[in-house]
């Protein structure tokens, strides 16, 4: 079963990240307002991810090996290709990258989803956006570890575990990369999506009716405004991410409320399908636009860079999804997939 509203929200999440980087990449500093757009997109991806994992695995138990295979099948191939591509650029065309420097150790840790510090202190892999996939893989592994529990118990235990990790992170100022990374409060975003999935499974009144539709629409707008209301010079903090997470949850609930009234947009579905490819590949296209326009015009016009970057990122993602991502997935399913799988088919949400 494909939920149209989920597809449309995945497209919105990817486009938020694309717009953020199209605005940020030409700058030699981090603009907090633009950065919040990208953060909003990732938080929306995480909420959707939590929802999808519960929705696709149903109310009962599921085979953990099949579950993990499907996650790896959809996440790993394209991420590895993009990471290797960034590594090649770091060696042969470093002028296209701001502060990425190649080492074999960092390549291996990136490919294995192991958090590490870069030389400049950033806690991100070689392909910077892979930090979100490190969280996704952590979530998938813990979710699979509880595969033999029923959905409600699984969600409650995972939520308790993530709350405990967050509490530990608040009490202890870890310096080592792995404990610092996995005790960050952002892991709670998955719990929000899982909770919404439980409500959806039970056909809760929160998912039905014009009153709830209006409520979730209003809350989505209010929480979004609150997330961007902090002063321009305030960086992304928990006080920015809380309202943006609640806004993401509100828009997810809104989409589920109006699912039957949503138009069946081929463009929206296609962009939702290509959202993972868009998320991973758009920085290549943004960098390419900047290089080409700089050579053609001698200067970078912000509006032209932004619009051209967004357009090329969308078209490039559609191409990558259709001619690279989908063929790889089909080949893996034909040749390497487990002989028998009982888990329902699910689209990737962020990675």
pTM, two decimal places: 0.92
pLDDT tens, residue by residue, 225-244: 999 998 777 667 888 999 99
With bands split at pLDDT 50, 70 and 90, how would you rate the model's confidence at 299? low
3-state secondary structure of 336: coil
Of the candidates 2, 9, 14, 41, the residue with the CA atom closest to the CA atom of residue 252 = 9
- Residue 123 — φ and ψ, nearest 5°? -100, 65
Q: How many Cα atoms occupy the beta-carbon half-sphere of 14 within 13 Å? A: 32
The dihedral over CA atoms of 316, 319, 324, 326, expressed in degrees to the nearest 10, equals: 120
In the chain, where the domains are located: 4-335
- 112 token code pair: 């294995």
pLDDT tens, residue by residue, 148-191: 999 999 999 999 999 999 999 999 999 999 999 999 999 999 99
> Which pair of structure tokens corresponds to residue 330?
């089909």
Q: Summarize the confidence of residues 215-226 as an average pLDDT.
A: 97
Residue 223's Cβ-side half-sphere holds a number of Cα atoms within 13 Å equal to 20
90 and 126 Cβ atoms separated by less than 8 Å: yes
């Amino acid at each position: 079963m494909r939920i149209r509203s989920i597809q449309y929200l995945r497209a919105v999440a990817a486009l938020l990240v694309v717009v953020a980087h199209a605005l940020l990449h030409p700058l030699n500093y981090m603009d907090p307002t633009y950065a919040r757009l990208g953060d909003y997109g990732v938080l929306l991806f995480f909420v959707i991810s939590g929802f999808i994992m519960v929705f696709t695995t149903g109310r009962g138990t599921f085979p953990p090996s099949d579950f993990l295979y499907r996650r790896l099948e959809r996440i790993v191939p394209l991420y590895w290709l993009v990471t290797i591509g960034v590594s090649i650029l770091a060696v042969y065309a470093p002028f296209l990258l701001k502060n990425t420097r190649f080492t074999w150790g960092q390549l291996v840790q990136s490919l294995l989803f192991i958090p590490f510090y870069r030389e400049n202190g950033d806690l991100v892999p070689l392909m910077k956006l892979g930090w979100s996939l490190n969280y996704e893989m952590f979530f998938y592994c813990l979710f699979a570890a509880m595969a033999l529990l029923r959905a409600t118990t699984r969600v409650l235990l995972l939520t308790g575990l993530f709350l405990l990790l967050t509490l530990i992170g608040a009490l202890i100022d870890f310096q080592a990369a792995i404990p610092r990374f996995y005790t960050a409060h952002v892991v709670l975003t998955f719990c929000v999506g899982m909770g919404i999935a439980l409500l959806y499974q039970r056909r809760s009144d929160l998912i039905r009716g014009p009153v709830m539709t209006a409520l979730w629409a209003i809350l989505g707008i209010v929480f979004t405004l609150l997330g961007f209301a902090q002063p321009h010079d305030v960086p992304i903090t928990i006080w920015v991410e809380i309202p943006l997470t609640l806004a993401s949850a509100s828009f997810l609930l809104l989409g589920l409320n109006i699912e039957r009234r949503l138009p069946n947009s081929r463009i929206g579905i296609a962009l939702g399908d290509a959202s993972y490819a868009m998320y991973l590949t758009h920085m290549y296209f943004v960098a390419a636009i900047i290089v080409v326009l700089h050579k053609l015009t001698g200067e970078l016009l912000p509006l032209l860079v932004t619009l051209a970057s967004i357009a090329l990122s969308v078209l490039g993602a559609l191409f990558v999804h259709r001619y690279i991502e989908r063929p790889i997935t089909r080949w893996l399913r034909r040749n390497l997939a487990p002989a028998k799988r009982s888990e329902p088919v699910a689209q990737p949400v962020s990675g």
